[in-house]
Chains A and B, each alone.
Chain A
Amino acid sequence: MNGIHDMGGMQDMGPIQREENEPVFHHPWEGRVAAMNRALGAWGKWNIDAGRYGIELLSPADYLRMSYYEKWLARNVDFLLKVGLVTPEEMETGKPAPGSQKVTPRLTAAAVPAVAGLRGDFMRREAEAQARFTVGQQVRARNMNPVGHTRLPRYARGKKGMVVRHHGIFVFPDTNAHFLGEQPQHLYSIRFTARELWEDDASPRDSVDIDLWDSYLDHA
């Protein structure tokens, strides 16, 4: 989806605001949201790609206005309702539905040390898939504009680059985000020169490496 989240190359977002000695969480509720996100993920009702797409579905105005953890909170409320782990009535009242069965949490405190450092799911697959490209080859990123989730940023579409790393076979986000299967594909780092991406104003030496899946690419 050509959404506000795909912001590589925009120029009007203002100066970068840094904070000295920044805390991990600015408010206790942010930590609780981050922790709930991880604990709920253990139910396996969604995946990391669906999670990203859930954030992308926020309206552009909300996306820019809301803090990071506000977005997570909105997304998780949305997921809980959509997959039916929580009913709208329960969300409204804050109480479990009368007579509903209490379940057992999937993530226990004892299991936390093993998972806490992991950002997401293990996405490499030992699958059969054809690698259409090899390191050193010239490729062109396709000019595609899917309305769903994709990890091919707009600023790279139609641009020519070179394969610089071959990472192996990974789950394909464009289908996984929509629960249409993992459809694993080869993944590569493609190096684009800054001049290819941004024309003559860019430094002649600089470059951008972008991790792209096989079906995002054509031979060039």
Chain B
Amino acid sequence: MHDHDHHHDHQVVPSDPALRTKALESLLVEKGLVDRAALDALVDAYENKIGPRNGARVVARAWVDPAYKQRLLNNASAAIAELGYGAAQGEHMVVLENSPSVHNMVVCTLCSCYPWPILGLPPVWYKSAPYRSRSVIDPRGVLREFGLEVSEDVEVRVSDSTAEIRYLVLPERPAGTEQMTEDELAALVTRDSMIGVARVAPPAGSKP
């Protein structure tokens, strides 16, 4: 593993990754390198335990509790841990606040860095070449593809996650939600709004 050679001497790509994966898992289990129950638990965690509902709770809390919001903006990792997400030795989180003058969006141009503990595993489009390549050179065009038109007098600020800092966008609280509870607010918050490719829509039936 210490060499710098760039020969592309990888194994021939499996024609059927499902079969290859099954064969590899059997081998690793038989050798004792992995525990099948641990794999089951990991898949369950990825599918059911982590996900954007965690991030939505963080956003809703920040909307209703100004002191929490301040802690979130000052030290996001600690404030997120207050709600039980991530771990003490977790991700280095930074929260980016959207406002009437700044719209934040997050990308990882070099790979697929994404705040797993609070947003779950990234959607395919986030990891795809079109999003990774164009977000930094044409963010407004990308946002338009997501149906979001950002006014020319608003700064679009893209964060390229090139290190181990993980970014969560704190979207603007929509109008017409003044009477809503924290739980109701959390239900409005979408994954895409926390990546910064969407706004949080006002609740159905509310007057604009």
Contact = CB atoms under 8 A, between A and B. Distances in A.
Contacts of A28: 18
B46 to A, nearest CB: 6
B53 interface: no
Interface string B133-155: 11111111010011000001111
Contacts of B166: 119
A57 B158 contact: no
A210 B155 contact: no
A112 to B, nearest CB: 4
Nearest to B153: A205
A108 to B, nearest CB: 6
Interface residues of B, number: 94
Contacts of A18: 123, 125, 146
25 contacts: A6-B109, A17-B128, A31-B46, A32-B21, A36-B28, A52-B110, A59-B10, A62-B10, A76-B24, A77-B11, A86-B31, A100-B31, A109-B41, A116-B46, A116-B49, A118-B90, A147-B4, A155-B136, A170-B163, A170-B164, A187-B165, A208-B158, A209-B157, A209-B158, A211-B161
A206 B139 CA distance: 9
A116 B11 contact: no
Contact of A43 (B33, B39, B113): B33
Find the residue from A70, A123, A203 having the highest chain B CB count within 10 A: A203
Given A32-B25, A155-B136, A102 B30 contact: yes
Interface string B111-143: 111111100110111011111111111111010
A117 B160 contact: no
B160 A8 contact: yes
B70 to A, nearest CB: 17
Nearest to B154: A205
B50 interface: yes
A212 interface: yes
A136 interface: no
B87 A7 contact: no
Q: Which 5 A-B pairs have the closest CB atoms?
A: A8-B109, A116-B45, A211-B163, A35-B42, A117-B117
Contacts of B187: none
A91 B27 contact: yes
B162 to A, nearest CB: 5
Contacts of A212: 162-163
Contacts of B153: 205
Nearest to A102: B32
Contact of A66 (B11, B13, B85, B137): B13
Given A11-B133, A34-B121, A36-B25, A90 B31 contact: yes
B24 A118 contact: no
A95 B31 CA distance: 8
A85 interface: yes
B184 interface: no
Interface residues of A, number: 113
B30 A153 contact: no
B37 interface: yes
A10 B155 contact: no
A153 to B, nearest CB: 6
A140 interface: no
B35 A39 contact: yes
Find the residue from B4, B51, B89, B137 having the highest chain A CB count within 10 A: B137
A112 B42 contact: yes
Contacts of A211: 160-163, 165
Nearest to A208: B158
Interface string A190-203: 01000001100011
B177 interface: no
Contacts of B49: 113, 116-117
A76 B130 CA distance: 25
Given A46-B1, A95-B30, A117-B86, 8 more contacts: A10-B129, A15-B130, A16-B125, A39-B34, A40-B28, A62-B10, A203-B140, A206-B156
